[in-house]
Structure 1
Amino acid sequence: MKHFQSIRVTGRGPLFAGLGLTAIAFFLGGAALASGNHPATDRHLSRTAEELSAAFENVATEIQPSLVSIHAVKRIDPASRGGMQVLPFGSDPFEQFFGGRLPRRFQIPGQPSQPYFQEGQGSGFVVSEDGYIVTNNHVVEGADKLEVRFSNKRVLEAEVVGTDPQTDLAILRVDAKGLTPVRLGDSDDLRVGAWVVAAGNPFGLASSITAGIVSATGRSQVGIADYEDFIQTDAAINPGNSGGPLLNLDGEVVGVNSAIYSKSGGYMGIGFAIPINIVKSVKGGLIEHGSVDRGFLGVLIQNMDEGLARSFGYDSTEGVLISQVNEDSPAAEAGLEAGDIILSYDGKEVSDTNHFRLRVAATPPGSEVPMRVLRNGEEVELTVRVGELESKVADSGGAPGLGKDLGLQLQTLTPELLARLGDIDADKGVLVTEVSPVGRGARAGLRPGDVILEVQGKEIANLGEFKRALREHEGDGGVRLTVIGRGGRHFVYLSLK
Structure 2
Amino acid sequence: DADEIKIVLSDKREFKGKIVGSDPKTDLAVVKIDAKDLPTIQIGSSGKLKTGDVVLAIGNPFGLNQTITMGIVSAVGRSNVGIADYEDFIQTDAAINPGNSGGALVNTSGQLVGINTAIFSTSGGYMGIGFAIPLDMAKTVMDSIIKTGKVTRGWLGVSIQNITPDLAKSLGIKDTSGALVSGVMKNSPAEKAGIKRGDIITELDGKTISDSRILRNMVADNAPGKTVTVTVMRKDKKELLKVTLGEFQDTKVAKKADFDFDNLLKDVVVQDLTPDLRERLNIPSDITGVVVAQVAQDNPALNALQQGDVIMELERKPVANVKEYSEIVSKIGAKDGVLMLIYRDGATIFITLRP
TM-score using structure 2 length: 0.70
Correspondence 1:351 to 2:210: yes
Counterpart Cα distance in 2 of 1:313 and 1:297: 26
State which of 108, 112, 119 in structure 2 corresponds to 1:253. Answer: 112
Counterpart Cα distance in 2 of 1:377 and 1:352: 18
Map 1:13-412 to 2 at 5 A. Answer: 142-391=1-250
CA positional deviation for 1:287: 1.2
The CA RMSD measured in Å over matched residues stands at 1.6
SS of match in other structure, 1:366 = coil
Counterpart Cα distance in 2 of 1:261 and 1:143: 25
CA positional deviation for 1:314: 2.1
How many matched pairs?
254
Counterpart Cα distance in 1 of 2:169 and 2:237: 15
Q: 1:362-397 CA distances to partner (integer Å, 9 max, x unpaired)?
A: 0110011011111112111111110000137xxxxx
CA positional deviation for 1:173: 0.6
CA positional deviation for 1:264: 1.4
> Which residue does the alignment assign to 1:69?
none
Moved >6 Å (runs of 4+): none
Q: 1:426-447 CA distances to partner (integer Å, 9 max, x unpaired)?
A: xxxxxxxxxxxxxxxxxxxxxx
SS of match in other structure, 1:288 = helix
What is the one-letter code of the residue matched to 1:148? I
Q: Is the 8 A contact 1:318 1:343 kept in 2?
A: yes
CA positional deviation for 1:178: 2.6
CA positional deviation for 1:256: 0.3
Structure 1 unaligned runs (5+)?
1-141, 393-418, 421-497
Structure 2 unaligned runs (5+)?
252-278, 281-355
Q: 1:152-209 CA distances to partner (integer Å, 9 max, x unpaired)?
A: 0001110111100100111101111231221111111111111100001111111110
Q: 1:225-266 CA distances to partner (integer Å, 9 max, x unpaired)?
A: 000001111111111111000000000011000000111111
What is the one-letter code of the residue matched to 2:110? G
SS of match in other structure, 1:184 = coil
> Which residue does the alignment assign to 1:54?
none
Counterpart Cα distance in 2 of 1:367 and 1:289: 17
SS of match in other structure, 1:247 = strand
Counterpart Cα distance in 2 of 1:253 and 1:169: 16
Counterpart Cα distance in 2 of 1:285 and 1:387: 16
SS of match in other structure, 1:286 = helix
TM-score using structure 1 length: 0.50
> Which residue does the alignment assign to 1:493?
none
Counterpart Cα distance in 1 of 2:142 and 2:113: 14
Counterpart Cα distance in 1 of 2:178 and 2:101: 34
Counterpart Cα distance in 2 of 1:353 and 1:275: 18
Q: Is the 8 A contact 1:312 1:376 kept in 2?
A: no
Counterpart Cα distance in 2 of 1:314 and 1:386: 29
What is the one-letter code of the residue matched to 2:72? I
CA positional deviation for 1:284: 1.0
Q: 1:445-486 CA distances to partner (integer Å, 9 max, x unpaired)?
A: xxxxxxxxxxxxxxxxxxxxxxxxxxxxxxxxxxxxxxxxxx
When you count helix as a share of all residues, which structure comes out higher?
A: 1
Counterpart Cα distance in 2 of 1:146 and 1:343: 44
What is the one-letter code of the residue matched to 1:188? G
Counterpart Cα distance in 2 of 1:195 and 1:350: 27
Q: Is the 8 A contact 1:312 1:377 kept in 2?
A: no
Task: Indicate the percent of aligned positions where both proteins have the same amino acid.
Answer: 52
What is the one-letter code of the residue matched to 2:90? I
CA positional deviation for 1:355: 1.1
> Which residue does the alignment assign to 1:75?
none
What is the one-letter code of the residue matched to 2:26? T
> Which residue does the alignment assign to 2:297?
none
Q: Is the 8 A contact 1:313 1:377 kept in 2?
A: no
What is the one-letter code of the residue matched to 1:189? K
Counterpart Cα distance in 1 of 2:172 and 2:156: 25
Counterpart Cα distance in 2 of 1:369 and 1:166: 23
Counterpart Cα distance in 2 of 1:305 and 1:206: 46
Counterpart Cα distance in 1 of 2:41 and 2:127: 28
